Structures are given as structure tokens and as C-alpha cells.
Structure 1
Amino acid sequence: MIEYSSLKQSGCKIHVQIATEIACKILSGELNPNEKLPSEMELCSTFGVSRTALRESSKLLSAKGLIAAKPKIGTIVLPRHHWHFLDPQLLEWIKGLNDNQRFLAQFLGLRKAIEPEACALAAKHATVEHRKELSVIFQQMVLAAEEINYDEWIKNDHLFHQTIFLATQNHFFLPFSNILSTIFKLFINHSSEGGRFCLDEHRVIYDAIMAGNSIQARLASQALLQDDNQKLSRLGVV
């Protein structure tokens, strides 16, 4: 039987707290697809909240594709293909899981699929302002590597890749800059081999984009994301 915590009022709205707890049980596998949730009355009693608060939490979970109300059945967990994995709030919930490496490994698979093309598009379409911004960020990365300042490296590594997505000027690539903002720091902490900075690999990407060389930018991104640089690739779920 799945256990739930009785909630206490905090800075986070009650319905968001409820949604977060249920979402984490779904994402962690404690609640399985097609499994029925406890009744509304049971959940209200367990969480110590009103029906209004519970219904608001259900709306939030439904909007993320995690649950659905079925007539004469009740509320069930939806199969994984319904889950909105690129939703920033769902990514926040994934960050909060005790065991999130399999999700991060699959995120690496997504990065391998889209980032090389993003780098190629950035090399072709980046504006003067994009290139100026990328130059400033890269110099901060160089400084962070020289000073062995890992926090500064992560911050600017994130900005480097975020700026590349923005520089594509392709509307369908732009949302990935927001996805990176949600999960990138956690991803880097788990993925970088031996905590190293990968400055040389980033330099090749940077030089190619600044030179407008889309072919080299694509190849350089593929080299950065290759398995030898990524601990997460060894989990076998990429």
C-alpha cells in the first residue's frame, strides 16, 4: 500500500505540494501505470486538505499527463507515453527523486539527437549579438577551468548551451533552452567524467560557431556528447 505524507502549510501552495508528492510516487515507480489512486475522500483525509485543494492538485497532474479520471473507475495513473517529459515542472519533480539517473541518461540521449544540429544552425544563423554573448560566456568558462571553479563552470556551461539554442533562431529549438535551465546543473553533476571541465571540446564548438562553420560545429558537438565523455552513457538506457 502506498503511503502519503500529511502536509503542512509552507511557502509552496498546498495543491502544488500534493501534486508533487503524488507525481514523485508516479515517476519513481511506486505508483504504476493504470494503477488506481485512493479515493478523493481518502486523499483529503490523508493530506489533511480540502476537496478544493485536492482537485487543484489533480488538475495539475492531469495537465502533465500523469493521471486521468475514468468514469466508474476513479483516477488512474496514465501510461508513460502520456507523460509530458519536457514540461519544466515535471522536470523539477524528476530532479527531486532519489534515483533520477535513468531519466538523466535518457536526457543525454535527447541531447545527442538535437544538440549537434542546434550547433550547426547556430553557426549558420547566430547574430552578431549572439556571437558576442557566446564569446563572453566562453571566456568565463576558460577562467572557471583555470581557477578550477566548478560552480562557475556549471553556470557558464549551461549559459553556453542555452545561447546556442537561442542562436539557432529556429522556434522549435528555442524551448530547449528552457529545458536546459531546469535540469542542466543536475545533469552535469551526474554526467561529466571525473568532474572534468571538457574545455577543449567546448572550444572546438565555440570556434566553429564563431567561424560560421556548421559542419564542424555539428561534429564538435557530437564529440562532446560521445560516450567517453559521459558517465551516464554507461547506464545502458540512453
Structure 2
Amino acid sequence: MNNYKNSEAIMDNAIVKNMTPKLLTVVLLSAMSGAVLLGCSQHSDDVETIASKQQADTEATTDYQASRNNAAWGAVYMSREELTAPTVNIVDDSSLPSMDSDPSIAEWEAKFEGTNAFVTTDGKKLYHDSCAGCHMHKGEGAYGAGYYPPLANNSKMQSKYYIIDILINGLRGMPSFHGMMNNEQIAAVTQYVHSELNNYTDTVTAEDVAELRHANPSAGDPSDE
């Protein structure tokens, strides 16, 4: 056995002697690094290290229950008092203004005369409340996110039935007013477009609208029918 160790030592010395100084330096540095790491990993549990001190501090100060309540666990963990408390919204809606004192609601009700639909039969008011936002107040039309054709000086407006049909059924991006206006209102706004924005002289009546009105508005483009 001693002969084997002596032979191994002789071989190690021979290897070291044959190494270049640079290679020998690398080997020595590697050996020292391994010894340091080995020493760090092999220590008694009783020896205090930086890592063990940090872990002890964390365990001593961390309130895991509070962490659950404030993070994802808060969605599933509730105390007995919270479970028996009345349900409340995340947003305290008691701090929101009431409908009666909301200025935007007041403005809306003034425009639509206190209801969710049109009440007036004034064709000019109906046009400015429902059509001018896209087709402009003088019916000149507009370009923007889409194309809003002019209604003034438009030869298509010569046919009152063409206007009535579009108001009842809608057209492309324009909504249907089938459920928002009655026959008298559709007749009034048609008369305004036909005669005021253009110079056509036909009289538009509620009976004209009744001829084209049907139970349900078309889901498609009336020009395709």
C-alpha cells in the first residue's frame, strides 16, 4: 500500500514538474476555490452564517397570515367576522352623486326631454339631437373615423321614402331609429332633411312612415334588399 502511495506521489510530482507556470497557476487557483466552496458548504448547524442570520430575521418578522390577506390568498381567506358581515362593493357607491344631482344626467334629460327616447315632434330639434353629430348641423357631412355623407344638396333626398326607409332600418354604420322615434317623429325629421336641407317640396306625413314601418327593423343593409 505504501509503495502505491509513493508511486502516486512520484507521478503527481512528475506532472507538476512538467506543467508550465501558467497551467500550474490555473490548477492551484481551481484547488483553492474548491476548498473555499467546500468549507462554506460543510459547517455545523450551530455556526452562525450570514444566510442563517437572514433566515432567522425573516422568520421572526414575517406575518404570513397578513401576507395571505394582502396578496392572492386574500381572495379565498376571510375571517369569521368578514364572513358574517354584510356584502359590500369594492367601490363605495355611497360616495357617488345621485342621479338627481348628476349634472351630466341633467343635461341628457334636457336633451331627450326626461326620457330614454325622443318626445318632441320638432323636425329641426330631432335632426340636431340625433343626426347632426355625424352629418353636421348644416347637413354638409364629414370625413373622420368614417365617411358621413352630406344630406344637404343631395339628390337622393328628393325621395321622402328613401329618407324614411333609412331612418327605420338604418344604413351601414347608421343606427335604426325604428324603436326610438314614432311615425310622427320620423315624418318630422324627414321633412326637415327633405325641405330645409334641400329645396324639395313634398309633404311628409305619419301615414307615409306607416306604409314602410314593419314589426322588426332589418338587421342588414336596406339597400341590399
Is TM more than 0.5 here?
no
**Structure with greater contact order relative to length (CA < 8 Å, sep ≥ 6):** 1
Structure of higher CA gyration radius: 2
More helix by share: 1
How would you bin the TM-score normalised by the shorter chain?
Answer: under 0.3
TM-score normalised per structure 2: 0.26
The alignment's TM-score, normalised by the length of structure 1, stands at: 0.25
